[in-house]
Amino acid sequence: RKEVEQDPGPFNVPEGATVAFNCTYSNSASQSFFWYRQDCRKEPKLLMSVYSSGNEDGRFTAQLNRASQYISLLIRDSKLSDSATYLCVVLFVSGGYNKLIFGAGTRLAVHP
């Protein structure tokens, strides 16, 4: 089983749609959680951290369920510029060092 698993995608949605991405992680000792966005041939950029109480940043809402080891990202009112690959990322400590584990990513394509 992969340490971080995401929806397979791709998601093709019209502008204005609401889209939800899901992610599960296997290591219960995971400490921090993030959603990153990666555009084609570019490095990942942090979209938002995910807090236990859930958090919102504009059109983006992230949720964490530690009991189910599940993370979600909701994008409302999709824009063309939201087209990218969204990476679910989990941080945990291993051997005294921090490790970030990336999901395979879910590709989102927003069309007019």
Stretch that binds another protein, among 13-21, 22-30, 58-66, 97-105 (CB under 8 A): 97-105
92 binds another protein (CB under 8 A): no
Q: Does 102 bind another protein (CB under 8 A)?
A: yes
1 binds another protein (CB under 8 A): no
- Within residues 52-91, the interface with another protein by CB under 8 A covers 87, 91
CA dist., res. 64 & res. 17, Å (int): 22
Residue given tokens 């999709």 in the structure block: 78
Choose which of 16, 18, 26, 45 interacts with another protein (CB under 8 A).
45
Helix, strand, or coil (residue 90): strand
Q: Binding residues for another protein, how many (CB under 8 A)?
A: 19
Dihedral Cα 22, 25, 26, 27, nearest 10 deg? -160
Q: How far is CA 78 from the centre of its chain?
A: 15
Contact of 89 with 35, CB cutoff 8 Å: yes
Among 17, 74, 101, 109, contact with another protein (rule: CB under 8 A): 101
| Residue 11, strand partner residues | 108
Residues lying near another protein in the complex (CB under 8 A) are found at 32, 41-46, 87, 91, 95, 97-105
